[in-house]
Each structure stands twice: as structure tokens, then as C-alpha cells.
Structure 1
Amino acid sequence: MSGSGRTRTAMEWLASAAPDPDACRWEWERHPMGVALLPAGRLWDVLILIGKLGHPTFDVLSRVIDRPGPVLADHGSARIGFFVPPGTAGRWLGTGVRAAGRGSWIVVPHPTRTARGVRWLVPPDGSGLLTDPAVLEMSMHEAAAVIARSAGEGDTG
């Protein structure tokens, strides 16, 4: 599939989560902010980590699997959002992670653009691929261990 075909497929997949997919596409194409507000919980949930844990988790996840599901970062990468299967938010028990599921809304940029305040680290490909929550959790644990080791190395005793 060509790049423009993948973009169209990714845009259609994301827009299908919106109550009004046509309005969603209009927001991406014509609104100066270039973002749409989409409901979580239908096609995907989003697990949002603070950047201090989110970036190392993303690094581990990228080494563990060929391609994670879509991943968003906010301005300054203070928060990283991993798209996971619907229902994950309701079952998530980890601390320090915001779980956005049914009843939550997410600011989502066009699949191929950076918008003010939010950008894709891994854009959707239109296939519906999402990150497996178990693999994400394992990556979070490994990232937390790396962070703890690094903090321990800075101790002078």
C-alpha cells in the first residue's frame, strides 16, 4: 500500500472512533490546531505514563516487539500515551499510570502530522494494531528497574 493509502487507512481507523467521523476528519484537515478530540473505550484505551517512565518504557517496548501500537507524546514529552485494547483501562491496577477508557476523551493529531501540544511517536497504521497490555507492563517493569539502577549509581553512600 502506498504512503497516501496508509495515511488514509490510518485516518479512517482513528476517525471511526469519533461520534462524527466526518467532523473529525474536518478538524484534522482544516482546523489550525490540527487535532481532534476522540473518545477512548470503543476502539482503544490509552495508558498514559509520565515521561520519566514513559520514555524508557517506549525504548524497552521498541526493542521487545517489532511494532507497538500507536503511541502519543504531549508537548515536551511530559506524558506518553500507549494505545491498548478497549477494556484495559478498567482492569489496570498499576500506580502512577492514568488509564483512559470508556468515558475519557483523548486529543489526537492527524496520523501523519505533529500538532500543537501532541505528536505521534508511533502513528497508527490503520490496521487496528494495539499494544498488548502484558507486554507493555513487562516493559514498564524493566524500564523502572533501569531507572532504579541509574538512581542507585548516583548515590555516593
Structure 2
Amino acid sequence: MESTGLHWLAQAAPDPEAFREQWERTGLGLMLLPAGRRWDVLSVPGRLGHPALEVLAAGLSGPVLTDFGDEHVSFLVPVGTAARWVGTGVRCMGEGTWIVLPHPERSSRGVRWLVPPDGSGRLSDPALLELALHEAAAALSDW
């Protein structure tokens, strides 16, 4: 079976098959999934995250989402990144935390994918993300 973004995200659930079936059956746009199992999440202010994503736009980003009002941009990164990340204003979500995620194949209001998961398992590289965040911060300070 071809891997889709939905199947890939569901692998983070305690019971992936039941989770995927519930998500499809209920038609819910948003669901809670645990971070720290298949990926961690780094969330940055939107004014920094959007320009950082533009720096990474050459296919160097894994899944990325934004919240209500684009106040935060969140990057899915490899497991363990949240525990090692040091940065002001960066919210790190790893083992023991949960995150609200939108369905990858449906549009939703509020929380939505900027770069939806494609099922490949690609995540944002923390080193490249750090460089993109520095570049975005430098551009902001030039204002």
C-alpha cells in the first residue's frame, strides 16, 4: 500500500490503525497526536517561521504547520531534537507532549499545513532549520 501523509502521521498514535480509521470516519479536521514517537516539533513565532520556511523552500523542509492567525509556525523534526534544542522563543515538543494536527488531505480553518506530510517520512533537518532561522532573524533585524 502506498504511504500517505495520513498513514504516516497515524504511525505516531498508540494504535495507528484505530486512529487512522477514527480520523477518516469522523471527518474531524483536527486530532491530537503525541510528539516524540516519530517526530518532535519546534514551534517559532510566525514572523520568524514564515521567512525561515522561505529559506528552506527548495525542498529542504519536512512537514510544517501554522496555527490560528499564523502566530506560530511549527516544523516536524527528528525525535530527540526537542531535548537538545537551545533557542530563545522556540517552543520544543518531544516525548510526553501532544500536538493538535490537521488532517493532511483536508482543508481546515485555523491550524493548517504549510507543507503537508507526503508519507515519505521526510522531516526538517535541525541544522538546516537553525541556519534558516538565523537568516530569517538577521533579515528581521535589518528592518
Q: Do both share a fold (TM > 0.5)? A: yes
Name which of 123, 126, 129 aligns with 2:119: 126
Structure 1 SS opposite 2:87: coil
- The structure with the larger Rg is 1
Aligned to 1:93: 86
Percent same amino acid at aligned positions?
59
Name which of 136, 143, 146 aligns with 2:136: 143
Shift of 1:26: 3.5
TM-score normalised by structure 1 residue count:
0.84
Shift of 1:107: 0.7
Shift of 1:60: 1.3
Check conservation: 1:33, 1:116, Cα contact below 8 A.
no
* Residues 94-151 of structure 1 deviation map (CA, whole Å, 9 limit, x = unaligned): 110000000111111111222233110000111100010000000000000000001x
Structure 1 residues without counterparts, runs of 5 or longer: 151-157
For residues 1-157 of structure 1, what are the structure 2 equivalents within 5 Å?
5=2, 9-31=4-26, 33-62=28-57, 65-150=58-143
Pair 1:30–1:75, CA change in 2 (3 A) = farther
Deviates more, 1:70-79 or 1:14-23: 14-23
Alignment RMSD = 1.7
Tell me, in whole angstroms, the C-alpha distance in 2 between the residues paired with 1:45 and 1:104.
9
Tell me, in whole angstroms, the C-alpha distance in 2 between the residues paired with 1:15 and 1:126.
10
Deviation beyond 3 Å, 4+ runs, structure 1? 30-33
Structure 2 SS opposite 1:129: coil
Which structure is higher in RCO with an 8 Å CA cutoff and minimum separation 6?
A: 2
Deviates more, 1:66-75 or 1:32-41: 32-41
Structure 2 residues without counterparts, runs of 5 or longer: none
Structure with a larger share of its residues in helix: 1
Tell me, in whole angstroms, the C-alpha distance in 2 between the residues paired with 1:37 and 1:19.
11
Aligned length, in residue pairs: 143
Shift of 1:27: 4.0
